[in-house]
Structures are given as structure tokens and as C-alpha cells.
Amino acid sequence: MTLRIGHGFDSHPFSPEPDRELVLGGVRLPGERGLAGHSDADVVAHAVADALLGAAGLDDLGTRFPASDPAWAGADSIGLLETVAAGVAGAGWSVANVDCSVVLEAPRLAPHRPAMQARLSAAVGGPVTVKPKSPEGLGALGRSEGIACWAVALLERP
């Protein structure tokens, strides 16, 4: 069996648009400030996608779905993740697991973790765990200027 590991990262600042929805791990969090971005700005789905692409040795998310292309404006990041997962599978890889650390001061993610993990796992075809982490007031993330996510993916090929 061949194994490959990939690392993904994404961050977005909070949007100044008051009606922008917050989407994390494919789950909408009503009443929370949304993130600025060309797509729905789902930092968790983006980090997972880049981790999968890196592990498979494929182009990164920005190359595949460039922000300069109006076709991706407002795109559903879970749909992009499903496309990435299909490409990874097409390259002969299966997802062993993906692990994510989401760094944010607010909102609290614990109530949303089961839904996020289920949505992400279904999109990639393997188990995905999501761990919220507080920056404890340090730096831009600690000042609640945005949200960041790191993800690690393990792929296997029989």
C-alpha cells in the first residue's frame, strides 16, 4: 500500500457586508458574520481541498478554481470539494482520513461539529474530523478579524 500526506491552509477576513452568510465545513451558521471571499469563503472546505490536492500531487485550489474567474463567484465550496475529491479518486487515490484545526475566537463551533464533519466526510468519501481552536486573543485571529483553517489529509493507494 502506498500512502501520501498533504497539508492545506486557508484564511479569510470577516466581510464588511452585513448580509454575508458564514459557511464553515459546508454548514451555514445563521446570525454569524460571514467571511469575505470570491466563493462562499468556506475556509474549512478550502483547506481540506488543498490538503487532498497536495497529497495527490495535483494543482492547488487557486489554480483549479481561480478567484480571477467570474465563473467561481459565490461558488459553493462543498461542490468544489466534491470536484476535487473526484479528481483525487480519478488519480487512483482513496481518502484514509482528513483532520482539520479551525482557528477562531468566535463563533463557538462545538454545536456545529457533527454536521460539519458529516458534510465534509460525505464530500470527500472518507472520515473528516474538525477541531476548533482558540487563538486566545493573539494576533489578527485573536482580534476576531477572520478565521483560518489547517488541514492534513492522508491518502492511500492499494
Query: Which CATH number applies to 2-157?
Result: 3.30.1330.50
Q: Is the predicted pLDDT of residue 49 greater than 80, yes or no?
A: yes
Q: How far apart are CA 54 and CA 127, in angstroms?
A: 18
Cell, residue 36 = 469575505
Vertex 26: Cα angle to 51 and 55 (nearest 5):
10
Q: Is the pLDDT of residue 143 over 90?
A: yes
- The three grid cell numbers given for residue 134, joined into one nine-digit string: 482558540
Q: How many Cβ atoms sit within 10 Å of the Cβ of residue 136?
A: 9
Q: Write down the pLDDT at residue 6.
A: 98
Q: How confident is the model at residue 73 (pLDDT cuts 50, 70, 90)?
A: confident
In the structure, what pLDDT confidence band is assigned to residue 72 with cuts at 50, 70 and 90? confident
153 Cβ contact partners less than 8 Å away, ≥ 6 residues apart: 5, 6, 7, 8, 48, 51, 52, 54, 55, 95, 97, 98
**pLDDT value of residue 54:** 97
User: Given this model, what pLDDT does residue 127 score?
Assistant: 98
- pLDDT-above-90 percentage for the chain: 90
Closest CA to 36 of 22, 46, 47: 22
> In angstroms, what CA-CA distances link 139 with 105, 133, 143, 145, 146?
11, 14, 6, 9, 10
The identity of residue 116, as a single letter, is: M
User: What pLDDT does 1 receive?
Assistant: 76
Strand partners, 152: 7, 99
- Residue 39: which of 4, 7, 81, 9 has the closest Cα? 81
What is the arithmetic mean of pLDDT over 32-58?
A: 96
Average pLDDT value for residue range 77-101: 97
Lowest mean pLDDT among 21-25, 27-31, 61-65, 116-120: 61-65
